[in-house]
Amino acid sequence: MSTNTRYQKNQKLIVDIESLGVNGEGIAKIEGYPFFIKDALPGEKAEITVTKPGKNYAFAHLDKIITPSKDRVEPLCPSAKICGGCQLQHLDYKAQLEFKAEKVRQNLIRIGGFDEKDLASVEEPIMGMEDPWHYRNKEQYPVGVDKEGKVIAGFYAQRSHRIIPNLKCRLGHKKNSVILQTVLAHMEEYNVPSYDETTGRGLIRHIMTRCGKKTGEWVVMLVINAETEKAIPGLSELSEKLMSIDGVVSFCVSPNTSRGNVINGESFITVAGKNHITDRIGEVEYQISPLSFYQVNPDQTERLYAKALEYADLTGSEVVWDLYCGIGTISLFLAKAAGRVRGVEIIPQAIENAKENARINGLFNTEFFVGKAEEVLPAYVRTHNEKADVIVVDPPRKGCDSVLLDTMIKMVPERIVYVSCDSATLARDLKILHEGGYELARYCACDMFPETAHVECVVLLTKAHK
């Protein structure tokens, strides 16, 4: 960033906050030049200190709120300001929902090229939560030591790898603190070293917990800097302690000896209990292995999938593709109402889960393929002369590969249902699909991640009949 001549580092200013940026930070402008200020809200007058002046914009620290916003609330979590997990705890929940609906709208207009008026006629109200706390079914806590050398677990501070100790995250389940305390106490008792990123030494890297909210089943997985679980001192005692916690049905270890930022290893070892937990969404039962993707907010997932099913508008005869299918969550949800469902997913263990899940639910009109969606689908189309009626995609944040979008357009399905966790890449992909002959027929945002700046969306595209 080259330095702007108008503003200096450490310069103090008084500004009016005008809007919220995509990451939930307040934005103030002086003569069109924007300042990004974490924790500031629109409508507020505030004292700020410039921390990083740049050519086109600056970052600044919020020193003092002179006039607070009517939407400002006291964060529930004492670590809210320093923890990187939540960005919007200081904003009233209703206003959070408005912010998210507007963020999606703006991305569809600016990146997707859609007309504001057209959007208004296809937008459905954002689906919010009644109780926007303790909604997560999964946590991944980094483990380290504090200045006194005591083992700690918690969350990373924003944009850093400094661990903020926190065993009571307000987004997670209350049982997490019991599990964490058990692991940390064991580490103290047996002198089990935590992993040190800077040296690459030590053992325990992360503690992962996941529960099936409907079944009450829990898995605890330790990510370790060793090839085998035998490296953990007092393993059988730890295993006994964890398995005696109410609900814990699985204790696993994932070896990860790499130096990078990737949290989990590529495989896992089951130390005690089952190699998966079970959960239900609607009528469908799912087995979930610890490395497979599973939506983190099960209450909202049920509403999201119900909306995807509504958009898919199935009568029982359709051929449906579910791309980026994970453990087959959406595939099986749709399979009850479709003729045939084919899922594609890159992670082999997730596809194993998907096949098993199809079997336990008796949904035999499904087929699952391991591989990249952008490779599997074109290859299938080349060798099979078959039409798809509905294509569902649910890609990770980076959105769909362009080869995949082209293939989808060439397959001319009646409907495309796009589930997205990043409305910017969604808008980019919708533009391509729109140019390829699809109309944006309806869309709905869903608040899967209250208190954070993230938002999920589901979109229905229909083939334009000219």
Query: Which residue from 17, 97, 344, 430 is in contact with ligand SAH, where contact means CB under 6 A?
Result: 344
Instruction: Considering only residues 374 through 403, tell me which ones interact with ligand SAH, judged by CB under 6 A.
Output: 374, 394-396
CB 25 within 8 A of CB 36: yes
Asked if residue 293 binds ligand SAH (CB under 6 A), the reply is yes
Q: In 21-125, which residue ranges form alpha helices assigned H by DSSP?
A: 93-110, 116-122
- Give the separation between CA 414 and CA 391, rounded to whole angstroms: 9
373 binds ligand SAH (CB under 6 A): yes
Closer to ligand SAH at the Cβ: 37 or 330?
330
- Cβ proximity to ligand SAH, 151 vs 409, nearer residue: 409
What spatial distance separates the first Cα and last Cα of the chain, rounded to whole Å? 49
- In the complex, what is the shortest distance from the CB of residue 372 to ligand SAH, in angstroms, rounded to a whole number? 4
Q: Is 211 a catalytic residue?
A: no
Number of residues counted as binding ligand SAH (CB under 6 A): 19
Residue 326, interface with ligand SAH (CB under 6 A)? Answer: yes
- How many CB atoms lie under 10 A from the CB of residue 243? 15
Residue closer to ligand SAH (CB basis): 166 or 420: 420
Alpha carbon of 434 to those of 408, 419, 460: distances in Å?
Answer: 12, 16, 11
Note the residue count of the chain.
466
Report the residue from 127, 330, 335, 377 that binds ligand SAH according to the rule CB under 6 A.
Answer: 330
The nearer residue to ligand SAH, 253 or 325, going by C-beta atoms, is 325
Cβ neighbours for 358, distance < 8 A, ≥ 6 positions apart? 328, 331, 332, 335, 364, 366, 368
If one asks whether residue 325 binds ligand SAH (CB under 6 A), the answer comes out as yes
Which residue is it, tokens 């090839």? 227
**Binding residue for ligand SAH, selected from 347, 381, 403, 432, defined by CB under 6 A:** 347
Question: Pick from 324, 418, 438, 443: which binds ligand SAH (CB under 6 A)?
Answer: 324
Q: Can residue 416 be called a binding residue for ligand SAH (CB under 6 A)?
A: no
346 lines the binding site for ligand SAH (CB under 6 A): yes
We find the least distance from the C-beta atom of residue 308 to ligand SAH, in angstroms, to be 9
Cβ-based nearer residue to ligand SAH, 182 or 420: 420
From the list 19-27, 71-79, 126-134, 291-299, the region that binds ligand SAH by CB under 6 A is 291-299
CB of 333: closest distance to ligand SAH in angstroms? 9
Q: How far apart are CA 408 and CA 243, in angstroms?
A: 46
Binder of ligand SAH out of 213, 372, 431, 463 (CB under 6 A):
372
254, 291 in Cβ contact below 8 A?
Answer: yes
Closest to ligand SAH by CB, 69 or 292: 292
Least Cβ distance, residue 350 to ligand SAH (angstroms): 5
Pick the catalytic residue from 421, 444, 446, 457. 421
Angstrom distance (rounded) from CA 183 to CA 244: 13
CA-angle at 359, arms to 357 and 363, nearest 5°:
95
The reply on whether position 333 binds ligand SAH by CB under 6 A is no
The widest CA-to-CA distance across the chain, in whole angstroms, is: 72
Helix ranges restricted to H, 281-360? 298-312, 329-335, 348-360
| Residue 141 touching ligand SAH (CB under 6 A) | no
Four-CA torsion 119, 123, 125, 126, nearest 10 degrees: -80
Q: E strand or H helix at 176, and its extent?
A: helix 176-189
**Judged by CB under 6 A, does residue 329 bind ligand SAH?**
yes
Helix (H, G, I), strand (E, B) or coil at 287: strand
Look up residue 134 and give its two tokens: 């303790």
Q: How far is CA 370 from CA 119, 351, 391, 432, in A?
A: 36, 6, 17, 26
Position with the least CB separation from ligand SAH? 326
Pick the closer one to ligand SAH by CB: 375 or 439: 375
Nearer to ligand SAH, 71 or 374 (CB): 374
Q: Which positions are annotated as active-site residues?
A: 421
Residues that bind ligand SAH (CB under 6 A): 293-295, 324-326, 329-330, 344-347, 350, 372-374, 394-396
